[in-house]
């Protein structure tokens, strides 16, 4: 895929954003990466840096106007402290500011990061048309409603793609040696459960974002080919990070923990480098 689009990438310095920046530049696109502070790393990758806070609407609007982008890409998260409230805020207020500024600047196309574990309960991996679980319990409801706000806001654009990512793993994520989940596993605090998870390697998540420049408007699940119970993936992950065999929980599967169906992404031509976490945990971290 070769092109000369101008891309305004919000969240350019994040785990996915850095990888997306590198791929976009390699494909011949011009990238303006939004960050809150100077970023030599992005400049070394070939991007131009725009410094602004997504919560500062006037500064954000000015940055987008100056960039004159063809596409705005939303890869913003706030997970540094594991604070779901902060992440919900960026999905709601941050997305409203970003989309509003993009539309004011005449941007026609917006691509945004979402997540794939927010669907209503069911027995099969969720396809994109399964409703969001808006009536979930209070602890989960904040996340689901923030995602719903993000996706509804993005739909205001004339053209849009929402990428419902699976659980990230690979370098710079929680699921890699030395990171949060590996430490929990080594401490014996990561339990194997009946819950089903769909994973996606961060490199595959980035490649999907770049491919989405040419995808039709809509929601797309971006995850690997093998949704798996914790009974399946947790022992493999523990072995990969040098942790002991995990204990098993006898609790029934949470209805919403059903994984996601990636057939639409496959039909659009996306092919993950890591089609299964089985190899990805061992060789991709």
Tens of pLDDT, residue by residue over 128-179, are 999 999 999 888 999 999 999 999 999 999 999 999 999 999 999 999 999 9
- Please give the average per-residue pLDDT across 97-119, as a whole number: 99
Q: For 180-225, how does the pLDDT look when each residue is reduced to its tens digit (9 = 90+)?
A: 999 999 999 999 999 999 999 999 999 999 999 999 999 999 999 9
* Residue 1 pLDDT > 60: no
Write down the pLDDT at residue 81: 59
Domains of the chain: 6-171+201-225+256-273 (3.40.50.720)
Residue 85: how many other CB atoms lie within 10 Å: 11
Write down the pLDDT at residue 20: 99
Write down the pLDDT at residue 84: 83
Write down the pLDDT at residue 138: 81
DSSP string, 231-269: HHHHHHHHHHTTPPPPPB--PPPPTT-B-B--HHHHHTT
Judge whether 21 and 42 are in contact, CB under 8 Å. yes
Write down the pLDDT at residue 139: 83
Name the band, by pLDDT with cuts 50, 70 and 90, for residue 264: very high
Q: By three-state DSSP, how is residue 158 classified?
A: coil
Write down the pLDDT at residue 174: 95
DSSP string, 47-115: PEEEE--TT-HHHHHHHHHHH--SEEEE-----TT--HHHHHHIIIIIHHHHHHHHHHTT--EEEEEEE
* Residue 82 pLDDT > 70: no
- Please give the average per-residue pLDDT across 256-269, as a whole number: 99
Write down the pLDDT at residue 283: 95
* Residue 3 pLDDT > 80: no
Across the chain, how many H-helices and E-strands are there?
Answer: 11, 11
- Please give the average per-residue pLDDT across 52-81, as a whole number: 95
Q: By three-state DSSP, how is residue 34 classified?
A: strand
| Closest of 40, 52, 38 to residue 10, by C-alpha | 52
Judge whether 3 and 28 are in contact, CB under 8 Å. yes
Write down the pLDDT at residue 80: 66
Which tokens sit at 236? 């493999």
Q: For 273-284, how does the pLDDT look when each residue is reduced to its tens digit (9 = 90+)?
A: 999 999 999 999
Q: Which pTM value belongs to this model? A: 0.96
Name the band, by pLDDT with cuts 50, 70 and 90, for residue 2: low
């Amino acid at each position: 895929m070769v092109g000369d689009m101008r891309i305004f990438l919000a969240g350019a310095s994040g785990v996915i954003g850095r990888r997306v920046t590198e791929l976009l530049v390699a494909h011949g696109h011009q990238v303006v990466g939004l960050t809150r502070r100077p970023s030599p790393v992005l400049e070394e990758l070939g991007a131009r840096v725009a410094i602004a806070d997504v919560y500062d609407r006037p500064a954000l609007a000015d940055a987008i106007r100056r960039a004159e982008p063809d596409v705005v890409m939303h890869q913003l998260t706030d997970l540094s402290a594991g604070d779901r409230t902060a992440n919900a805020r960026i999905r709601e207020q941050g997305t409203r500011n970003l989309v509003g500024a993009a539309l004011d600047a005449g941007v026609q196309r917006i691509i945004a990061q979402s997540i794939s574990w927010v669907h209503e309960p069911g027995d099969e991996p969720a396809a994109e048309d399964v409703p969001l679980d808006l009536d979930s319990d209070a602890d989960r409801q904040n996340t689901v409603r923030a995602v719903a706000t993000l996706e509804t806001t993005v739909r205001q654009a004339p053209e849009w793609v929402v990428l419902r990512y699976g659980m990230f793993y690979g370098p710079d994520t929680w699921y890699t040696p030395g990171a949060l989940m590996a430490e929990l596993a080594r401490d014996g605090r990561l339990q194997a459960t009946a819950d089903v998870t769909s994973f996606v390697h961060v490199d595959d998540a980035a490649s999907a974002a770049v491919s989405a420049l040419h995808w039709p408007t809509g929601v797309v699940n971006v995850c690997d080919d093998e949704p798996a119970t914790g009974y399946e993936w947790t022992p493999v992950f523990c072995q990969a990070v040098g942790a002991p065999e995990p204990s098993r929980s006898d609790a029934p599967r949470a209805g919403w923990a059903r994984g996601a169906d990636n057939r639409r992404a496959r039909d659009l031509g996306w092919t993950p480098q890591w089609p299964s976490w089985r190899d990805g945990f061992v060789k991709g971290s």
